[in-house]
A and B are shown apart, each in its own frame.
Chain A
């Protein structure tokens, strides 16, 4: 055992980093909000001549194989605007929010950042983002889906643009569904359980369902029973915490009693169960799993999905009384507050974002990466409209639950997952685990965000 071992951390360590300062040349134009082009369509924005020359920095949290597609889009935009380069740096998603905050605190934030929707309000609340409300025409937001667009607003102001949206859906293997006697994905958990038991053989590792040990995945079992995590008001203050309500407890109890050990294994690999889940599903030994659109490209590489039509995507099943819910995620384009000191630079950034959020560009990413666009018109683009999987995701998104934009809310998952693990392994009852979670949220995560 080496002494230096105590230094090593993991890939998911805290990344507290400052980036090199962006090297854009600052012009001395006065800092009034630039009037953007009258038309808000990407095409005309793209052809506007921009005064800014120099570099824009963009931190992208995508993996490199995905970022390759984005680089093509950047190249296309740069071709339209010679003299401006967008320097994209990849930063690992884990800990990227901390990294961004540290950079912002040190005046070293990138001009543009791909912010998870759960982070945006926190950055905005701290004053790290540029207020874009007056940078875009008044009705610019109407071209986007309502819920994703809402994630880029906070306290009535616009802090970014929605890049992609996602939610957990129920993915099923059509062949195994047929074996279980179903013609389509199950619409209720009861249906999934009763059909799933027909194809389940736990010791042979054939599963009707596979459940992760991450609390993010447990949320449908709270919403599906009429519970909720917390509620917030328009100012982003938490008005009530419902994660330990009776309904939430019922949902988790159902999970433990009816689903685990019957159609899904009641054993865990907390650090690698994402891979376990995917591997079993790709091999065709699992009937259904909960997954998001980001996983589609990988799932389709599985032996069971050589025929794409074998993959079925459906909304999360209902629990009781027709209730269901799925956590809405996604990413926003956000702009660092320091960009606002340079009007020309701001105009350039606005132009870039208008281009990238345009229907055509979003459709390109949808086709190549399977990511769900946030621009409504993107869904009408032929490539996207004809994609059967994307159409199935629309049904998922329609039934999904929006997350409240409370600053720092991404912090709920640490205690949530810890207590969830104690619940799953039998150390806590559902009520104890959820009570402990609610307590931690109130005293720590939402310490300054509780409505008085």
Chain B
């Protein structure tokens, strides 16, 4: 559909407005991270006046920022692998097999998202204490994976539905068992769907605070959000440090986002959210 010039201009105007609105807080955070502390609370609008790296230097020298980043990476990557694998196997079963309880299981995964996670915090803490998982990354990996999985299953199931079963039948003829067809035929064809699922699981783990703060007790195990919280007390919120930390925390997500970006659309469209 070729667009008229007026139509094109209107399109650009609309998109520019919304793009600015979308980017604005992130841009503001970035700009503020380069401001000296004294310039942050001001009534003047200055984008760049005396840019400084001091916030970043402070951030990296105070506390174990690098250690926290590594912890966050570990937790997020393990969660992603764990969640994607479990969700894929489960979604495959629901997509391919007709069995009693199938609909109930699907409904279960929808329902699992309705319960506010904060309510689970206290009982979970007791459970993890008994399992001696407190102050280890595993308490977080288990929790995050569990919370990410239902949505991943729903997504992947719709995605698998679009892969023709004949391909697997061909694989069966070649002698592959059910797990073989899953692993060698379905999975390679599902890269977009898996990319979206992985992205979702990763950011669920990377961004989470509350459980991390509750389950991790010593500085060496902190993830980034929890570590950043040690800079803050109710009587002093160092905005320079916070914005610098926010920028650094966002970078891995942005990288993952760029990589997965082209899959996001196709992954979510090809069956993705077709209910």
- Do A and B come into direct contact in the complex, CB within 8 Å? yes
Contact of B209 among A10, A19, A294, A301 (CB under 8 A): A10
Chain B's nearest CB lies how many Å from the CB of A452? 32
Q: Give Cα A18–Cα B129 distance, bound, in whole angstroms.
A: 8
Q: How far is the CB of B199 from chain A (nearest CB, A)?
A: 10
For window 84-140 of A, CB contacts with B under 8 Å fall at 89-94, 99, 102-103, 106
- B50 interfacial contact with A, CB 8 Å: no
Residue numbers in A under 8 Å from B62 (CB-CB): 64-65
**Are A8 and B208 interface neighbours, CB within 8 A?**
yes
If the complex has contacts A15-B214, A18-B134, are A7 and B117 also in contact, measured as CB distance less than 8 A? yes
The reply on A16 being an interface residue by CB < 8 A is: yes
Which A residues are CB-close (under 8 A) to B214? 13-17
State the CA gap A298–B239 with chains docked (Å).
13
Distance between B63 CB and nearest chain A CB, rounded to angstroms: 6
Contact A63 B218 (CB under 8 A): no
Q: A18-B129, A18-B134, A18-B135 are in contact. Are A11 and B215 (CB under 8 A)?
A: no
Chain A residues with CB under 8 A of B37 = 301
Known: A6-B116, A15-B213. A92 touches B233 (CB 8 A): yes
Which residues of chain A have C-beta atoms less than 8 A from B209's C-beta?
Answer: 7-11, 13
Are B231 and A63 within 8 A (Cβ)?
Answer: yes
The stretch among B9-17, B21-29, B118-126, B258-266 that forms the contact with chain A is B118-126
A92 and B211 within 8 A (CB): no
Chain B residues within an 8 Å CB radius of A91 = 230
- Residues from chain B with a CB closer than 8 A to the CB of A205 are 43
Question: Would you call A274 an interface residue if the criterion is a C-beta within 8 Å of the partner chain's C-beta atoms?
Answer: yes
Number of interface residues of B (CB under 8 A): 46
* Complex interface: chain B residues within 8 A of A8 (CB): 207-210
Q: Let me know if A2 is at the binding interface, CB within 8 A.
A: yes
Measured CB to CB, the nearest residue on chain A to B229 is A11
Convert B49-68 into 0s and 1s, putting 1 for each residue whose CB lies closer than 8 angstroms to a CB of A.
Answer: 00000000000001100000
Contacts of B237 in A (CB 8 A): 272, 274-275
B218–A19 contact, CB under 8 A?
yes
Is B239 a contact of A92 with CB atoms below 8 Å? no
Contact of A303 among B38, B118, B134, B231 (CB under 8 A): B38
In this assembly, does B148 line the interface, its C-beta being within 8 Å of a C-beta of chain A? Answer: yes
Instruction: Point out the residues of chain A lying under 8 angstroms from B43, CB to CB.
Output: 205
Q: Evaluate whether A64 and B204 lie within 8 angstroms (CB atoms) in the complex, with A7-B117, A13-B214 already known.
A: no
Q: Is B204 touching A92 in the complex (CB atoms < 8 A)? A: no
Complex-state Cα separation, A118 to B216, whole angstroms: 25
Q: Does chain B have a CB within 8 A of A72?
A: no
Question: Does A47 touch B at the CB level, under 8 Å?
Answer: no
Residue B219 at the chain A interface, CB threshold 8 Å: yes
Q: Which residues of A contact B229 (CB under 8 A)?
A: 11, 92
> Is the CB–CB distance between B203 and A93 below 8 Å?
no
- Is A35 among interface residues, defined by CB-CB distance under 8 A? no
The answer to whether B41 touches A11, judged by C-beta atoms less than 8 angstroms apart, is: no
A90 touches B217 (CB 8 A): no
A412 to B63 Cα, complex, angstroms = 33
